[in-house]
């Protein structure tokens, strides 16, 4: 099953990324990251006004929410 996270603010310090992007995941792997992705066979999560970032746990997401005042969404990729 494919998962498409749309319109999330993607922050990745390792690649100096901080922008609104879509993320397409298939079989637990990220297969595409870019501004606009269309996929007819993916489950879509609207991440508008949310921060999407790799490697944070729920505790870190809660800390990030306090610092940035942005809602946080944690999606474990153990699909």
Per the structure block, which two tokens stand in for 72? 């946080």
Q: Can you tell me the distance from the alpha carbon of 7 to that of 46, in angstroms, rounded to the nearest whole number?
A: 7
For residue 28, the domain's CATH number is: 2.30.40.10
More confident residue, 72 or 50: 50
Q: Is residue 75 part of a domain?
A: no
Q: pLDDT tens-digit profile of 6-18?
A: 999 998 888 889 9
Q: Is residue 73 part of a domain?
A: no
Could you tell me the CA-to-CA distances from 48 to 14, 30, 56 in Å, in that order? 22, 19, 19
Domain total for the chain? 1
Q: Is residue 74 part of a domain?
A: no
Q: Which residues contact 43 (CB under 8 A, 6 or more apart)?
A: 1, 2, 3, 4
Q: Supply the mean pLDDT for the chain.
A: 79
Task: Give the position of tokens 């990324």.
Answer: 17
Full-model pTM: 0.69
60 close to 17: Cβ distance less than 8 angstroms: no
pLDDT at 57: 54
């Amino acid at each position: 099953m494919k998962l498409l996270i749309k319109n999330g603010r993607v922050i990745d310090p390792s690649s100096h990324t901080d922008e609104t992007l879509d993320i397409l995941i298939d079989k637990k792997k990220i297969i595409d990251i870019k501004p606009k992705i269309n996929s007819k066979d993916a489950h879509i999560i609207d991440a508008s006004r949310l921060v999407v970032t790799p490697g944070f746990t729920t505790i870190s997401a809660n800390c990030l929410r306090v610092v940035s005042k942005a809602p946080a969404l944690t999606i474990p990729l153990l699909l």
